[in-house]
Structure 1
């Protein structure tokens, strides 16, 4: 590395700052590097990654800190570095190009562009030295330079052909959505289901919470127990595996193996938020406290590690960390690994024997596979055996085992806290905070913990005060170190609106609903594709050749999937028929994808199923925050129903606002001075009830699964 910084030095992104002292003359994305490329007649080298990406670190160390490779890049190219989490529009477009060229993609992404931004060559991680018949980075640089000098017309033609193909690929045409798309998606997922270990497909296994959303809504609609059991088995297996942090809570990014044992150790905010929803749903349906405990542990982890004191939530923790057993060295997951000796020394022989029996700790280490030799003699904690099995093995009571394990976990967590934590990417992203706002709001209501709901509300207020301009109605994407930056994308608006709607359902504060409506109206103005239907994922950026529309619900749901769901929820909450019609048009715009590969868009299928079902409302007439009203609200949150909305007729601001949009709300009142619940279907209400028991009976009478 060199003492002299490059053009990234004034950026706020942790990822960009990691590269600010590279000898590569990096620029951030913007006008300056494109202007220079055109002026100097040079191609552009675009490198896209994120701060907690393991292979991004590897390529940085091998190539971008290498003065010889840096000199080649600086001589032949204008070099741009992009944080994919700050600029998902840039990442999305060039990922599509990378996948079109190679059939796969990933990070770091390495793309070579014409000076106008059109890509002509793309790769992911490129080793500094050639191996196994593959060229190293210097050879690729030299080959591209020679092509630029002697065969530029071919590069131009290749770029034009690629852009045309991508534009064709992302054109949508509306048609009728077939009535059996949810059944076909369920059938396909059933065929991919791993009945032994849970999950779908083979290794590596990703949690993909959008699948759980679909399966549980499908279960509610049809009563199909296999949809429920696939979800519960997978959630149970994940929580018992090494992918779950058995000491500190929260989930790692994915499992390298098929048994959820060996994780890729990143922890992402968007995973915690979506999986929190999944475990809350499982708890609502089953009443099994094991799911509630996992949900609580996710919240505890997020509030302990990823929570900014001002209210927002940080983005991620790195997979790599300092090795506690070899100071100065770093490794994948080192922070989370244990030697058997360390555990015995820390806990004492008796407690360690119980702990090691239950958590699969072995003297030589317990990794199922270790091709990089990173886990030799180390243990990744997972639930190898139950408390009951341990009680039988050690001839003690289950209560003694449980108490011993609880004490041991606390001791080991405290000792682990003395280690050097993995790098924390502390930028605050609007979209991901929207996901966490919704999850925490529901957690507070379902787990009866007001602190969780308060954390949700504080995060919403943080976003409003730092990343939202009430004068223009516009959102910024990222906040860090006192700076709000980057234009909000569709996912920022859609995910935040979804979170605000969840928070409104819990708090029934009219300003939350009003803000969600304002953001939705603004997103329609900014992103709606009047010609092709649906919404563009990004605002206009002349340097990005194509405005994309993602049609895959992956680690995060596609923005259009969430936008369609928001329009349905808001349309029904407010009686806005235009938004209901726009929801239908948005889904129709993706009908080809939905009809042909429905399992690719499970979150969009949730919107399709919601559209097919008649809306259900529970209206509670009562004074805000009184014991009888709160008891009614708590009973509603005990029951899983993805089609239900909750409305509070408080005789005040909330009821007045709702009555302007839903006239029937004007006549909803308490009976005999007691909190009163009205259970309605398609805005036709049954006789009101004033006891929690009668409300419970009404709530359990809907859905095919009851």
Structure 2
């Protein structure tokens, strides 16, 4: 990525093959002096024909350290000459090709004990890795080999010790595959010990002072929060578990509040940054990712259902406001991310991390006026000398600037300035609005405008769940429009042949298991929020498509990459729920929900097989797979069906639906029978629903356990009693 402002660019000195690509990340490197090729047949054939190793560099367009390595090494003519002469350089957008990235990141993590981006891996022409790492400085620095010297060492090894390199790469891949296969040997587990260990592990890692489940760097672990809310529900009515249930809820809600009060939350514009570099949620890594917005929206919506807190509801609404304003394509799909780096002002020749988001005290006073500025700065922790602590900013890149966080409440601020809380709140609200307007005049961070199926699925889920929980039909409509965009634009034909990504009118590679899993999950959420049967129908069809492409029919579980994907050197079944849930965790949950909705025992058996395949992980490290634990929990407890019969536009029907949506029901599925085509379709698959209908002409709710139903009710108050 060149840091030169667009308006001052002349004809570029260099142009490589990436100029023909659509990926924003690849296009950022199109004018490097490195002769980059995209991943594919051409690059692999060139490596074989020229008998050169491949230098594979994987990253993404909003990755700060990717920008740094580009600036230091890939724009360096001397280093570029070495790369071009001795290697075949290949650039991969990890968001567009998660298959390639996952394969070689698995190697890097096994070889070095860590990972991250940019990922730098050297491969033999038959794609077996023989050396890997992440960011390398251009020159030797702090005991770390510089990239220039590393290239020399690896070129020497390739030319002088070829046999050893080839043997090492072959052995590495064989050992890795053996390890991966051994991890998935299978183990039957019992739910209660798994949930107990997940709770114990999360509780032992919980930060009592600041919330969250680690020290620095601290990530928003949405799936851990949603798991703990389910633990609270499951144990709340057990006398011997009451204190643990309360603490599970407390850990979740405290973390949600701490994040929203911290600098990881963009107080001015809404939306969450990627993670906090410190343990107190203050200084973030400033990029904003769609997958975080979607998952945190889900978590805040459920936090609201459990607590009724207007604060948590407001955060959820502001996440939606941010995504709608800054991440949404006009036709409904959502873009991928916004960069951490931007120009501090027009005309600068170098981008800096956080420039768009940080403020000096003088700026705040100038924009808001001295009196309001003083009040605002007190509440939001903005100091004259800047508020980044040394441990959060070791290189002093943020020196003298402020990342806003909620240092004091309106009440505490009012006490200090001898004003009323209402007066202070008015100053703060006005201040945020004024700073937002001022910030629009700054150069914006780069927007990665790829539309990725999996991440849109996570956002659609968040919108559907938040829309239902908060009574916001617009949110459900936004989710509906995004789903329709995926249906129309990211499929080879409408609804079939799913693709991973779309940009500027063109589809990217075929979808991966995670894309199917996230999209199916979102369609089930969208159905339960708005009760439009077409989303349930599409979810069922996509599940069949996913099974045909990724399912290990013999052992169970899903491979991340479909069977006809060329150039795969490892066959991986993912289970770790990291920044995104794993495809197997979500697939297990999808299958159990679909099985409950459609009374499909084949799907139920597939779900159980996944839980067995990853049984060792569930037993030993359940806090690493919280979404898989949620799936196991639903598989065991998801026996409740709530069936609403009647015209969904009727006010009486809406009152019943609102009652259902106003509580967290982690063990239930919600279904609609309308006496028409939708009921006929569901009834063909689930006979219990075929005869359900309104009572005396009034919309009715049937509450069932394994489709043994209590007498239907037509009043919201009666339904509340049945739901407990």
1:207-232 CA distances to partner (integer Å, 9 max, x unpaired)?
A: 11111121111111112111111011
TM-score (norm 1): 0.97
Match of 2:540 among 505, 512, 517: 517
Name the CA distance, whole Å, in 1 between partners of 2:668 and 2:590. 14
Whether 1:432 and 2:455 are equivalent positions in the alignment is yes
Whether 1:395 and 2:418 are equivalent positions in the alignment is yes
Name the CA distance, whole Å, in 1 between partners of 2:89 and 2:472. 49
Q: Which residue of 1 aligns with 2:408?
A: 385
Match of 1:573 among 591, 597, 604: 597
Contact 2:302 2:469 in 1 (8 A): no
SS in 2 for 1:486: coil
Matches within 5 A, 1:112-191: 112-171=122-181, 172-179=184-191, 180-191=193-204
Name the CA distance, whole Å, in 1 between partners of 2:662 and 2:107. 46
SS in 2 for 1:453: helix
Bigger mean CA offset, 274-283 vs 652-661:
652-661
Matches within 5 A, 1:11-30: 11-30=21-40
Q: Which residue of 2 aligns with 1:264?
A: 285
Query: Structure 1 residue 683: deviation in Å?
Result: 1.1
Matches within 5 A, 1:532-547: 532-540=555-563, 541-547=565-571
Query: Structure 1 residue 614: deviation in Å?
Result: 4.3
Q: Which residue of 2 aligns with 1:195?
A: 208
Q: Which residue of 2 aligns with 1:295?
A: 316
SS in 1 for 2:500: strand
Query: Structure 1 residue 471: deviation in Å?
Result: 7.4
Q: Which residue of 1 aligns with 2:429?
A: 406
Name the CA distance, whole Å, in 2 between partners of 1:42 and 1:614. 55
Q: Which residue of 1 aligns with 2:223?
A: 210
Name the CA distance, whole Å, in 1 between partners of 2:651 and 2:671. 17
Query: Structure 1 residue 436: deviation in Å?
Result: 0.8
Contact 1:536 1:549 in 2 (8 A): yes
Whether 1:493 and 2:516 are equivalent positions in the alignment is yes
User: Per the alignment, do residues 345 and 326 of structure 1 end up closer, same or farther by CA in structure 2, a change over 3 Å counting?
Assistant: farther
Question: What are structure 2's unaligned runs of at least 5 residues?
Answer: 3-11, 237-244
Query: Structure 1 residue 523: deviation in Å?
Result: 0.4
Whether 1:316 and 2:333 are equivalent positions in the alignment is no
Q: Which residue of 1 aligns with 2:6?
A: none
Matches within 5 A, 1:19-58: 19-58=29-68
Higher relative CO (Cα under 8 Å, sequence separation at least 6) belongs to: 1
User: Per the alignment, do residues 550 and 189 of structure 1 end up closer, same or farther by CA in structure 2, a change over 3 Å counting?
Assistant: same
1:353-386 CA distances to partner (integer Å, 9 max, x unpaired)?
A: 2211110111011112321211111110000001
User: Per the alignment, do residues 336 and 156 of structure 1 end up closer, same or farther by CA in structure 2, a change over 3 Å counting?
Assistant: same
Contact 2:559 2:573 in 1 (8 A): yes
User: Per the alignment, do residues 13 and 138 of structure 1 end up closer, same or farther by CA in structure 2, a change over 3 Å counting?
Assistant: same
SS in 1 for 2:18: coil
Whether 1:376 and 2:386 are equivalent positions in the alignment is no
SS in 2 for 1:307: coil
SS in 1 for 2:690: helix
Whether 1:624 and 2:636 are equivalent positions in the alignment is no
Name the CA distance, whole Å, in 2 between partners of 1:463 and 1:164. 38
Query: Structure 1 residue 635: deviation in Å?
Result: 1.4
Query: Structure 1 residue 190: deviation in Å?
Result: 0.8
Contact 1:614 1:681 in 2 (8 A): no
Query: Structure 1 residue 405: deviation in Å?
Result: 1.2
Query: Structure 1 residue 472: deviation in Å?
Result: 8.8
Q: Which residue of 2 aligns with 1:107?
A: 117
Name the CA distance, whole Å, in 2 between partners of 1:242 and 1:471. 42
Match of 1:10 among 5, 20, 25: 20
1:35-60 CA distances to partner (integer Å, 9 max, x unpaired)?
A: 11111111110000000000000000
CA RMSD of aligned residues (A): 1.4
Name the CA distance, whole Å, in 1 between partners of 2:166 and 2:555. 28
Whether 1:416 and 2:444 are equivalent positions in the alignment is no
Whether 1:220 and 2:233 are equivalent positions in the alignment is yes
Contact 1:510 1:653 in 2 (8 A): no
SS in 1 for 2:665: coil
Contact 2:26 2:93 in 1 (8 A): yes
Q: Which residue of 1 aligns with 2:690?
A: 666
Matches within 5 A, 1:420-499: 420-470=443-493, 473-499=496-522
Contact 2:346 2:443 in 1 (8 A): no
Match of 1:587 among 600, 607, 611: 611
Query: Structure 1 residue 135: deviation in Å?
Result: 2.1
Match of 2:266 among 227, 236, 245: 245
SS in 2 for 1:588: helix
Name the CA distance, whole Å, in 1 between partners of 2:477 and 2:65. 38
Whether 1:647 and 2:663 are equivalent positions in the alignment is no
Name the CA distance, whole Å, in 1 between partners of 2:260 and 2:682. 41
Bigger mean CA offset, 688-697 vs 249-258:
688-697
TM-score (norm 2): 0.95
Q: Which residue of 2 aligns with 1:704?
A: none
Contact 2:338 2:447 in 1 (8 A): yes
Bigger mean CA offset, 76-85 vs 676-685:
676-685
Query: Structure 1 residue 569: deviation in Å?
Result: 0.5
Match of 1:561 among 573, 580, 585: 585
Contact 2:638 2:668 in 1 (8 A): no
1:253-273 CA distances to partner (integer Å, 9 max, x unpaired)?
A: 000111100100010000000
SS in 2 for 1:648: strand
1:402-434 CA distances to partner (integer Å, 9 max, x unpaired)?
A: 222111111111111111110000000011011
Name the CA distance, whole Å, in 2 between partners of 1:218 and 1:492. 28
1:541-577 CA distances to partner (integer Å, 9 max, x unpaired)?
A: 3312012111211111111000111000001111111
SS in 1 for 2:642: strand
Contact 1:324 1:335 in 2 (8 A): no
Contact 2:340 2:353 in 1 (8 A): yes
SS in 2 for 1:667: coil
1:492-535 CA distances to partner (integer Å, 9 max, x unpaired)?
A: 11100000110011121221111101100010010011233211
